[in-house]
Amino acid sequence: MDVIKYSEEHNIFRDAVRRFFEKEVTPHIEEWEEAGIVPRSVWKKMGDQGFLCTDVPEEYGGVGADFLYSVILTEELGRTGFTGLATPLHSDILVPYITSYAREELKKKYLPGCVSGELITAVAMTEPNTGSDLAAIRTSAVEDGDHVVINGQKTFISNALNCDLVVLATKDPAVENPYQAIDLYLVEAETPGFEKGKKIKKVGWHAQDTGELFFNDCRVPQANRLGQKGGGFLMLMEKLQQERLMCCIIGQVAAERMIDMTIAYCKERTAFGRPISKFQNTQFRIVEMATEIKLGRAFLDQLIVDHMEGKNIVVDVSMAKYWICEMAMRVADGCVQLHGGYGYCEEYPIARAWRDTRVLSIFAGTSEIMKYIAAKFMGL
């Protein structure tokens, strides 16, 4: 029995999304991987089709759709095997900060562009010496009249080169309590003092323009602050639940795609006069991986339903984020092994899937942090 109840409208939407990716993304993957970035035109095409920020209310240019539309988009993008187009980050992780916490005038100013693809967003939290410990960030925002003056550096920022608008985490050095010193500001890319740094060379996700951002006496209106003064840490904690759920979807679909391509390969590849799928070791390994994938899907689908019902799933999503992402890593390794030497060759898609999967247990909170969060809520 399916846990998630998709309507006919959902199914029609999925077909449209799949056709779009087959036409506009899949044929260009190798080109964009080589270039190290995705053209902005792709974002605009997605916006034209209504495939960005589907939950944004109609008064701001969106359609106010339910979360399942986001799930469908993320799943179908995952099935292309392409990690460079970080639209789930834009639509389902970053723009919700604006929808939930921005002043009305900021919503009217920025949300229509986010929906249309004219504005590409990024979230800047991580710093060179600060990863999971958000309370330890050093990027400062000092009040100066009706502005704040921002100084600091951010790194490992997705969409860093393409971004037009950043949700920037800062700290007020005048506030002693680090958890009450954090604020989030919307910073436009053309703001004086805001500089985009180099693109970071990564093991995987080659087409994703992950980079550094620098702020040197960058003056931002205080009106661009999200929420109440000192409320940044709580806002980040509230939105991280959905961010980590999106990571679970990405990891789950990656595992499902890898096992499908590996089963197909094992049926075609022969050794000692027969397909390697006929060897018991191959069969047992595939069944083991397929079982873990099914467990991940059951866990994930229930979390999606609970999230849509407004339940607090912080503990469960922390468990799922660590387990599903590490399961995807185990599947990636097992699938490469079954491909043999060809699995280590770039011409086979399992090679890129393998290296792209590795980062899933690191970003949006490492596996170790996920376990720490769950343990804390369990009273351990």
pLDDT tens, residue by residue, 28-40:
999 999 999 999 9
Backbone angles phi, psi at 108, to 5 degrees: -65, -30
The pair of three-digit structure tokens given for residue 289, joined into one six-digit string: 């991986």
Distance CA 179, CA 134 (A): 9
Predicted model pTM: 0.94
d(CA 329, CA 353) in angstroms, rounded, equals 10
Nearest-angstrom CA–CA distance, 323 and 329? 10
Q: What is the four-CA torsion angle of 138, 143, 148, 151, rounded to 10 degrees?
A: -30
Report the percent of the chain where pLDDT is more than 90. Answer: 93
Residue with tokens 């197909």: 264
In order of their start, the domains of the chain are 8-118 (1.10.540.10), 123-228 (2.40.110.10), 233-377 (1.20.140.10)
Do residues 218 and 187 make contact, with C-beta atoms less than 8 angstroms apart? yes
Give yes or no for a contact between 218 and 166, defined as CB atoms under 8 angstroms apart: no
Bridge partners of residue 215, in order along the sequence: 152, 194
Q: Coil, strand, or helix at residue 255? A: helix
- Please check the confidence at residue 133 and state whether its pLDDT lies above 90: no
DSSP strand pairing (194-199 vs 147-157): unpaired
List Cβ neighbours of 133 (8 Å cut-off, separation of 6 or more).
none
> If residue 199 lies in a helix (H) or strand (E), which one and from where to where?
strand 194-199
Q: Which helix (H) or strand (E) holds 183?
A: strand 182-188
Percent of the chain with pLDDT strictly greater than 70:
99
Coil vs helix vs strand at 140 = strand
Residue 51 carries which DSSP code? -
Q: Is the pLDDT score of 131 beyond 80?
A: no
pLDDT of residue 77: 97
Work out the pLDDT band at 1, boundaries 50, 70, 90. Answer: low
75 classed as catalytic: no
The pLDDT tens digits of the residues spanning 70-117 come to 999 999 999 999 999 999 999 999 999 999 999 999 999 999 999 999
Sign of the CA dihedral with 241 first, then 202, 331, and 71 last: positive
What residues contact 361, with CB distance under 8 A and at least 6 apart? 322, 325, 326, 329, 367
Q: What is the pLDDT of residue 364?
A: 87
Higher pLDDT, 176 or 323: 323
pLDDT single digits (tens) 231-259: 999 998 889 889 999 999 999 999 999 99
* Confidence at residue 240, expressed as pLDDT on a 0 to 100 scale: 87
Instruction: Supply 281's token pair.
Output: 């070791």
Please report the sign of the dihedral spanned by the C-alpha atoms of residue 331, residue 369, residue 362, residue 92.
positive
| Residues 195, 213 contacting (CB under 8 angstroms) | yes
Q: Which residues does residue 122 pair with via DSSP β-bridges, in sequence order?
A: 166
- Distance from C-alpha of 44 to C-alpha of 141, rounded to nearest angstrom: 33
| φ, ψ dihedrals at 306, nearest 5° | -60, -40
Inform me whether the pLDDT recorded for 281 exceeds 80: yes
d(CA 55, CA 68): 10
Look at residue 152 in the predicted model and tell me its pLDDT.
96
Q: Residues 213-228: what's their mean pLDDT?
A: 97
State whether residue 372 is helix, strand or coil.
helix
Per-residue pLDDT band at 283 (split at 50, 70, 90) = very high
Q: What is the pLDDT of residue 2?
A: 83
Which residue bears the tokens 């562009």? 113
* Alpha-carbon distances of 169 from 114, 226, 239, rounded to whole Å: 20, 10, 13
Distance, CA of 28 to CA of 127 (rounded, Å): 32
Could you say which of 33, 76, 127, 243 is catalytic? 243
**Residue 126, CB-side half-sphere exposure with 13 Å CA sphere:** 17
Q: What average pLDDT does this structure show over 352-378? A: 94
> What are the C-alpha distances in Å from 160 to residues 24, 86, 167, 291, 361?
22, 11, 12, 38, 21
